[in-house]
Amino acid sequence: MGGALYTDRRDAGRALAGRLGAHAPDGAVVVLALPRGGVPVAWEVARALGAPLDIMPVRKLGVPGFEELAMGAIAGTDTMVLNDDVTGEMRLPAEEIDRVAAREWAELRRRERVYRGDRPPADLAGATAILVDDGLATGATMRAAAIAARGAGAARVVVAVPVAPAGTEAMLRREADEVVCAATPWPFQAVGQWYDDFSATTDDEVRALLGSPPVAGAPGA
């Protein structure tokens, strides 16, 4: 197994942007970052494409007592996707799933207010929505994000990440019109192993990047 692929998320964003040149610019592209780690990556993509930047709020639904295990995810205003294999194997009752979902919806809304403030979400009607994260592991949150973008009216949904396992990339092709992954190394253990600096992106960093849009007229301009 080799070393890191990227110095940090901004470096990964520049590398990813080089794979997305066909989408720039056609006047109907919106880059949507999955916060928090996807925001620095997406900022570089939006800058390179000359496209506006916004966030796609998402939250993983962790199994109670085993929170790192995703039983699903929520995204946007009303999208919830469940992993039936996990919920079935863990024998999770509907009321327990609803309890976790309610807690995560509250946190999603809180973060959305923190990051976006009083700015309205980007209008996706008829647009190409490019969903960007710093990498994929299970793909649960990205799958929910893709479904939410489609539900918000996006005419085309593109999933774009710097690194992911090949199997997850293939799974997302069922939800997206296009999946662009700059690297699919093997063996794949965790997203962070492919970065020299994978320190947590803070709320302040997210606000700063959304407040300094890469193109005029972007959300927050």
> Is the Cβ–Cβ distance between 175 and 146 less than 8 Å?
yes
> Is the Cβ–Cβ distance between 142 and 172 less than 8 Å?
yes
* Per-residue pLDDT tens over the stretch 60-87: 999 998 888 889 999 998 999 998 888 8
> Is the Cβ–Cβ distance between 162 and 136 less than 8 Å?
no
CA distance 163 to 113: 29
What is the model's pLDDT at position 221? 43
Indicate the helix (H) or strand (E) that contains 101.
helix 94-116
Asked, as a colleague might, if the bond just before 36 is cis with ω within 30 of 0, I would say: yes
- Whether the pLDDT of residue 217 is over 50: the answer is no
Question: CA nearest 146: which of 112, 173, 168, 109?
Answer: 173
25: confidence class by pLDDT, cuts 50, 70, 90: low
Query: 47 is written with which tokens?
Result: 């800058």
Candidate from 136-140, 141-145, 191-195, 215-219 with smallest mean pLDDT: 215-219
What is the model's pLDDT at position 32? 97
- pTM, 2 dp: 0.90
How does strand 156-161 pair with strand 178-181? parallel
What is the model's pLDDT at position 11? 97
The per-residue DSSP string of 196-217 comes to S--PPPPHHHHHHHHTS-SSTT
- Whether the pLDDT of residue 173 is over 90: the answer is no
Domain boundaries, the chain: 9-55+125-210, 60-114
CA distance 58 to 73: 7
Q: What is the mean pLDDT of residues 91-107?
A: 93
What is the model's pLDDT at position 215? 65
Asked, as a colleague might, if the bond just before 187 is cis with ω within 30 of 0, I would say: yes
- Whether the pLDDT of residue 132 is over 90: the answer is yes
Q: Please check whether the domain covering 9-55+125-210 is classified as CATH 3.40.50.920.
A: no
Q: How much of the chain, in percent, has pLDDT values that exceed 70? A: 94
Residue whose token pair is 């959300």: 219
CA distance 24 to 26: 6
What is the model's pLDDT at position 1? 46
Question: How many C-beta neighbours within 10 Å does residue 32 have?
Answer: 33
Query: 41 is written with which tokens?
Result: 């990556």
Query: 199 is written with which tokens?
Result: 């320190």
Residue whose token pair is 């085309």: 156
- Whether the pLDDT of residue 93 is over 60: the answer is yes
Task: Report the chain's mean pLDDT, rounded to a whole number.
Answer: 89
